[in-house]
Amino acid sequence: MKLLLFYAHSWWYKTASKSLQYMPDIEKEEHIEKTAVIFLHAELEDEKKDKGLLEKLVKNIKWIAGKFGTKNVVIHSFNHLSSSKASPEFSEQIIKDATAKLENSGYKVICTPFGYFNEFKIHVGGESLAKVFKEL
């Protein structure tokens, strides 16, 4: 799994078009301030990993959010960080599982609609930790 973790002063997105044609039609637009933004790329080999992968994912998200004192999180499926790709079903499920764990810990989580290309604006902080790459 590859992650780009950002601290963003603001995040806005709007659905643009489907990347998976079987997904339901969704038109959505959301905005959030002072948030950790996670670009997540699940790889094929992740499907063989145990539950520890989910725990590492959640731990990394909480880590970046904690560095900036926020409980706001955006998770965005971003299949452009590796040539290896997990199945859409696996990728969508790990995002759902991470969201549930974060919400159960008091985080506000926005997930961009899975299977969609999105238009977005991100105002990333200038601190060095506001931009982090992780490989799980």
CA 121 vs. chain centroid, Å, equals 15
Query: Do residues 118 and 13 make contact, with C-beta atoms less than 8 angstroms apart?
Result: yes
Query: Do residues 73 and 110 make contact, with C-beta atoms less than 8 angstroms apart?
Result: yes
| Domain regions of the chain by residue span | 2-122
What pLDDT is attached to residue 40? Answer: 97
What pLDDT is attached to residue 84? Answer: 94
Q: Smallest Cα–Cα separation from 30: which of 88, 72, 81, 78?
A: 72
Superfamily of domain 2-122: D-tyrosyl-tRNA(Tyr) deacylase (3.50.80.10)
**pTM of structure:** 0.93
62-90: pLDDT as tens digits: 999 999 999 999 999 998 888 899 999 99
Six-digit token string for 1: 């799994």
Strand partners, 38: 5, 75
SS3 label, residue 70: coil
What pLDDT is attached to residue 18? Answer: 93
Give me the residue label for tokens 């659905």: 15
